[in-house]
Structure 1
Amino acid sequence: MSDSKSTPLVQLPARLLSSALSAFFAFLRPYFPHILPLVVCLSLVPLLLLLSASAGWVVWRNAAVGWKAPLYLQYGDGVPPYAQMALPPLVSQQRYDVFLHLQVPNLEGTYALGNFMTTLTLSSRSNKTIASIRRPTIVTPPRVPFYSRAPSVIDVKVPLLTEFTPGARLVIANVEVGRRDNWKAVGSGEGREVSVISASLNGIVVHHGIRGLITRLPLLSALISSIIFLVITSLIVGVCVLPLMLRQAAPPYTEPEPHFAQVDIKPLPTISSSSSEDSEDVEEKPLVPARRSRPSSRTEIKIEDAPSTTLASSGSQTVRRRRSTLADSDLSSDSSES
């Protein structure tokens, strides 16, 4: 018994909640046509903000930046020191200045080597050659002020490519440093190789056009791109949703009632007795037709009816004249004479 009595008490809050929700929706039902477009617009605001932020991130992520790829030269293979590596992802249509940076020891033997060659070959992942170039290089002793000590390491910069456009995102570089004759004419004729402490292949972005503005100010460019994307998408959503709101807000069309112009009806003028008597006199006077010439014996005589005339006084009713009987009397007199 206790369970059966407690069950309605448990269901009571649910019933109250459902009735409250039904009453709330019944109260808002007349306003749904006006509130629904506004709710749709507000629900699209987070999506628009997310898309705008994504657009700015894409611009910032794809902005070209300088890069540096370390090289690990290989020695002792019977050829000049060489290295092969994949460059960082590049912007295919961006211009770069590419150069080789070497750190060599500050020794007399390094200066005695004289000129040596630096070869760079860039190829795609499909082993298609994009660019290939060779540049001569020589190491010279640095100028050191008298009050300072000579450095133990010398930096050598070898320019290779100027305003180079890779045309591909993933590029593989092959670098070769040294002479292929191994400097056999140096010293006693033994082969030698250039000593390199560290080497790296560097790329510097060339600022040009709109890409140059983006590469100079990547964060500001991303922010401007987000704002422009947000404005454009907001205008598109407004153009799509605003007509729905205006259609719901416009009053229903009602057909206008026909408008009839008021006409003043004036009473007809009364007919005087004198005018009526004149009309009767005119009516009583018969119209005498002209006597016709005597026809032949076999010719039939056609008598036309006298035309009826309508006499109307000003505003009075029309009066028709009756057929005259004079035509019958003329016909009888003609027959008697014959």
Structure 2
Amino acid sequence: MADSKFASLLQLPARLFFSALSTFLSFLRPYFPHVLPVLVCLSFVPLLLFLSASAGWIVWRNVAVGWQAPLYLQYGDGVPPYAQETLPPLVAQQRYDFSLQFQVPNVDTTYALGNFMTTLTLSTRSNKTLASIRRPTIAIPPRVSFYSRTPAVIDITVPLLTAFAPGSKHVVATVEIGRRDNWKSLGNEQGREVSVVSASLRGVVVHHGIRGLVTRLPLLSALVSSIVFLIISSVIVGVCVLPLTFRHAAAQPPEPEAEFAKVEIKPLPAISSSSSDDSESIEEKPLVPRRRSRPSSRTGIIKTEDMSTTILPPATPQATPLRRRRSKIVDPVSSDSSDS
């Protein structure tokens, strides 16, 4: 008994909730045809806001930005120092300025090297070459003022590519610094290499067209894209959903009329004897067939017949005694009787 009372107490809030819900729905039932379109549109609002925010985030996330990839040069392989590095994800159609920045020691042996070459090769992961370029470089001692200290290293920047669109998102860069003959033709024909303290490949975004506007103002571009997406999606929902909901509301059957129109049925008039006599007389009248009009063969004029007239039979004459003429032939029997 105690368990049953406890279970009934637990079910009481649910019963009260469902009863209140049914009362509320019964109260709103007459207003459903007008409230239903509004509820349907309001149900799409959170989804549209989420999609619009996602569109703005995608635009902001994919805006092209500058990058810098460190290079670790390899020495002692019989070739000039080189490095191979996978660049950060790029925007395929965005233009970049590629340049190499490295530091060399500020010593006399560096200046004695003279000119050397810097090579850059861009390729895809499938080893397809996108671009290859070589630029000459030379180390020049920096200018030192009276009150400044002499730097220990020299910064050298070599511009390689200008306004280049890679055409691929994943790019592998191969950089080579030095001369391929290792300066063996100079001095005692001893091989030499460029001493590099650190090196990095840098890419700067080139602002061009609409992409340049987006790259200059990434946050504003994301906000504008979210608003535009929200407006377009709201118009699409309004054009596609609202007519369906209003059509459903207008398709409800109309209320039946309270009173029907009363039709007064009048009795047919009685048929009199005179009318029956007239009908019999009409039936007894002979029918005269109409003549068909034939076109005249001579004149070519079509003769039309006048209105049909009913010819009544001639009136019956009064009964008059008929007179019979005597025949001139004499009957032999009558003659004999007369002679006797």
What TM-score do the two structures reach when normalised by structure 2?
0.71
1:200-230 deviation line (CA, Å, top 9, x unaligned):
1111111111111111111111111011001
Query: Superposition pairs for residues 38-77 of structure 1, below 5 Å?
Result: 38-77=38-77
Structure 1: stretches of 5+ with no match in the other structure: 255-306, 309-321, 330-338
1:153 has 2:169 as partner: no
Question: Secondary structure of 1:135's match?
Answer: strand
Structure 2 CA distance for aligned equivalents of residues 17 and 253 of structure 1: 33
**Residues 204 and 6 of structure 1: is their aligned pair in 2 closer, same or farther, counting only changes over 3 Å?**
closer
Give the corresponding residue for 1:93: 93
1:242 has 2:242 as partner: yes
Give the corresponding residue for 2:190: 190
Answer whether contact 1:117 1:179 (CA < 8 A) is retained: yes
Percent sequence identity is 71
Question: Secondary structure of 1:150's match?
Answer: coil
Query: Superposition pairs for residues 89-168 of structure 1, below 5 Å?
Result: 89-168=89-168
Structure 2 CA distance for aligned equivalents of residues 185 and 230 of structure 1: 69
**Residues 183 and 42 of structure 1: is their aligned pair in 2 closer, same or farther, counting only changes over 3 Å?**
same
**How far is the alpha carbon of 1:29 from its aligned partner?**
1.9
1:264-305 deviation line (CA, Å, top 9, x unaligned):
xxxxxxxxxxxxxxxxxxxxxxxxxxxxxxxxxxxxxxxxxx
**Residues 141 and 9 of structure 1: is their aligned pair in 2 closer, same or farther, counting only changes over 3 Å?**
closer
Question: Secondary structure of 1:170's match?
Answer: coil
Answer whether contact 2:125 2:170 (CA < 8 A) is retained: yes
Structure 2: stretches of 5+ with no match in the other structure: 255-308, 319-340
Answer whether contact 2:92 2:168 (CA < 8 A) is retained: yes
Tell me the matched-pair count.
269
Answer whether contact 2:37 2:246 (CA < 8 A) is retained: no
Give the corresponding residue for 1:225: 225
Residue type at the aligned position of 2:219: L
**Residues 5 and 69 of structure 1: is their aligned pair in 2 closer, same or farther, counting only changes over 3 Å?**
closer
Structure 2 CA distance for aligned equivalents of residues 157 and 149 of structure 1: 22
Structure 1 CA distance for aligned equivalents of residues 253 and 146 of structure 2: 98
Structure 1 CA distance for aligned equivalents of residues 5 and 91 of structure 2: 76
Answer whether contact 1:113 1:186 (CA < 8 A) is retained: no
Query: Superposition pairs for residues 272-311 of structure 1, below 5 Å?
Result: none
Give the corresponding residue for 2:79: 79
Query: Superposition pairs for residues 210-221 of structure 1, below 5 Å?
Result: 210-221=210-221
